[in-house]
Amino acid sequence: MKTVLITGTSSGYGRETVLYFHSQGWNVIATMRTPRTGVLPESDRLRIVELDVTRPESITGTFDAVGPVDVLVNNTGVPSISVFEGTPMARVREVFETNTFGVMATNGGSPEESVPAPYAPWVKKAMDDFTGQDLFTKESDVAETVWRAVHDTTGRLRFPAGPDAVWLAQAK
């Protein structure tokens, strides 16, 4: 029987995903910042544990406590519906801490192993491609592109600088 750990399960999509995996016969570890009863059904295949994805010690404690899982579903998320200029920086930081760094942290790597073995062939190919490329961005390419961006009146948001960046921007 497989085990899934799902974050942010006290409400919304997370809670519903817990119920779905549980109904399909999986073991489910449901995390909440404040674990409480009555939100999810009682079952010997459903375990509720505390997890705040913005607190490293909470992440370490949770994963040490639950042991190996087959699937991690990073459901946790806080919304931000506004234009950027009208959003307080405190809210921007909260969104990134939760929705971006929180996801990265729960997928945590090991500092002793900068390239985990399964990634090694991909990293070698990427580095070979990188060192073998014949398109390069010169400093003057960047300066001229910044100048063009400052004077742009079309409203476009992307300004690739240099032939390698132009090639990448055009790649499908």
Ligand X SMILES: NC(=O)c1ccc[n+]([C@@H]2O[C@H](COP(=O)([O-])OP(=O)(O)OC[C@H]3O[C@@H](n4cnc5c(N)ncnc54)[C@H](OP(=O)(O)O)[C@@H]3O)[C@@H](O)[C@H]2O)c1
Binding site for ligand X (CB under 6 A): 7-14, 32-34, 51-54, 76-79, 98, 102
Among 78, 63, 73, which Cα is nearest to 16's? 73
Nearer to ligand X, 30 or 161 (CB): 30
List the beta strands (DSSP E) in 62-114: 71-73
Nearer to ligand X, 81 or 157 (CB): 81
**Chain position whose Cβ is nearest to ligand X:** 12
Query: What's the closest the beta carbon of residue 9 comes to ligand X, in angstroms?
Result: 6
Query: What's the closest the beta carbon of residue 10 comes to ligand X, in angstroms?
Result: 3
Nearer to ligand X, 13 or 159 (CB): 13
Nearer to ligand X, 53 or 161 (CB): 53
Query: What's the closest the beta carbon of residue 94 comes to ligand X, in angstroms?
Result: 8
Please, what's the b/e burial string for 99-126 (b: 16 or more CB within 10 A of its CB; e: otherwise)?
Answer: beebbebbeeeeeeeeeeeeeeeeeeee
Provide the pairing of β-strand 3-6 with 71-73. Answer: parallel
CA-CA distances (angstroms) from residue 130 to 55, 124, 138, 164?
Answer: 36, 10, 16, 11
Query: What's the closest the beta carbon of residue 121 comes to ligand X, in angstroms?
Result: 34
